[in-house]
Amino acid sequence: MPRDVSSDTKTPRSPQYSLGYSNATHRWMSLRSPAIHGAFFLPHLSPGMRLLDCGCGPGSITLGLASAVAPGEVVGIDIEPIQIERASALAQEQGVTNVQFEVAPINPLPFPDASFDAVFVHAVMYHLPNPLDALRECVRVLKPGGVIGVRDTDYSVWFLEPATPVLDAFRDLSLRVAAFNGASPTYARQQRSLLVQAGCTTTSSAASCISRGSADEIAASVQAHITRLQSPAFYPVAIEQGWATETSLAQMADELRAWGVRADAFEAIMWRESVGWTSIEH
Ligand SMILES: C[S@@+](CC[C@H](N)C(=O)[O-])C[C@H]1O[C@@H](n2cnc3c(N)ncnc32)[C@H](O)[C@@H]1O
């Protein structure tokens, strides 16, 4: 079980979006589809609904949601202009006309109360320092009887097996640095109760898991972990905060490489997805 990072008392940095906006990140993120990543939410959508996608990224999921609610209007917002450019270009390329994208933060949202039938938030809350505040904002813009769908990784269940003390230390340090940088890596454990606190009167919730258990998947995972460990958002933070040394970080990278060529390496991370409804008297 990863260590609890929620009680770290050192002053956190201002929130920063850790994945960045490189072409490589854009390539894998735009492979996301409504059929897989939005599957839990699609049954709750119907033609004519007005839908908001918060933190829409490159828009590949948004466009599928737009087809589910057509001729209803879809608005995708993202804090990063380049994501909005990419999403708008994709909509144009695919000839989707019931969607518009705009640069905006999730909190505060630039929309009046009760202006959407549905709100979707995929892989965004994890990156925020206070997911509950953002959820309250999403619920605020829902009409009475509206529906919200939220999906995120829950890093309180993340294992690299066969475990070793150094691999465990790497995993715990990753969560600690993420929290320090303004993310909420284990918030999704409370996803259902946060939706209730945000104002939903009915909720449902489920968990699933992504796993890596082949040589190619493990090799890609090792590369991603080492790139992150050596990144400016990780390496200097771990050293400056006294959580690691150059030697212990080099040991972690070596251990990851050694793990990556084992025939029995296996990794799994939990995902949580929840749906909430506001009361019809909302
Ligand atoms: C991991 S991506 C997910 C994108 C998309 N929802 C998907 O799953 O493909 C997270 C997105 O949230 C955006 N984001 C991060 N913080 C935000 C904020 N405070 N307000 C709005 N968008 C934000 C980022 O710019 C990024 O595009």
CA–CA separation, 281 and 98 (whole Å):
28
Picking from 33-37, 133-137, 229-233, which range would have the lowest pLDDT averaged per residue?
A: 33-37
Confidence of residue 108 (pLDDT cuts 50, 70, 90): very high
Please tell me the predicted confidence (pLDDT) of residue 281. 79
Answer yes or no: is the C-beta of 19 below 6 A from any ligand 1 atom. yes
pLDDT tens figures, 220-244: 999 989 999 999 999 999 999 999 9
Q: How far is the CA of 147 from the centre of ligand 1 (A)?
A: 20
Q: How far is the CA of 123 from the centre of ligand 1 (A)?
A: 7
Question: Of 25, 78, 130, which is best to mutate to test ligand 1, by the most ligand atoms within 8 angstroms of its C-beta?
Answer: 78
CA–CA separation, 133 and 138 (whole Å):
9
Please tell me the predicted confidence (pLDDT) of residue 8. 53
218: nearest Cα among 164, 257, 255: 257
Bridge partners of residue 154, in order along the sequence: 270
Confidence of residue 3 (pLDDT cuts 50, 70, 90): low
CA–CA separation, 133 and 179 (whole Å):
16
Per-residue pLDDT at 210 exceeds 60: yes
Between the CA atoms of 109, 111, 117 and 120, what dihedral angle is there, to the nearest 10 degrees? -20
Per-residue pLDDT at 10 exceeds 50: no
CA–CA separation, 128 and 263 (whole Å):
36
CA–CA separation, 260 and 245 (whole Å):
22
Picking from 16-20, 74-78, 177-181, 251-255, which range would have the lowest pLDDT averaged per residue?
A: 16-20
* 21 burial via Cβ count (<10 Å: 0-12, 13-18, 19+): middle
> Rounded to whole angstroms, what are the CA distances from 215 to 4, 113, 205, 224?
30, 50, 32, 14
Per-residue pLDDT at 216 exceeds 60: yes
Between the CA atoms of 134, 135, 141 and 147, what dihedral angle is there, to the nearest 10 degrees? 150
pLDDT tens figures, 58-81: 999 999 999 999 999 999 999 999
Please tell me the predicted confidence (pLDDT) of residue 14. 47
Q: How far is the CA of 127 from the centre of ligand 1 (A)?
A: 8
pLDDT (mean) for 195-206: 98
pLDDT tens figures, 258-278: 999 999 999 999 999 999 999
Fold of the 23-277 domain: Rossmann fold (3.40.50)
Compute the Cα dihedral for 237, 242, 243, 248 and give only its sign: positive
CA–CA separation, 193 and 103 (whole Å):
29
pLDDT (mean) for 164-181: 97
Q: For the chain, what is the mean pLDDT?
A: 92
Contact 14, 233 (CB under 8 A): no
Please tell me the predicted confidence (pLDDT) of residue 86. 94
CA–CA separation, 15 and 131 (whole Å):
12
Answer yes or no: is the C-beta of 131 below 6 A from any ligand 1 atom. no
Task: Decide: helix, strand or coil at residue 149.
Answer: strand
The residue extents of the domains of the chain are 23-277
Percent above pLDDT 90 for the chain: 86
Region of residue 227 (left: phi > 0; alpha: psi -120 to 50; beta: else):
alpha
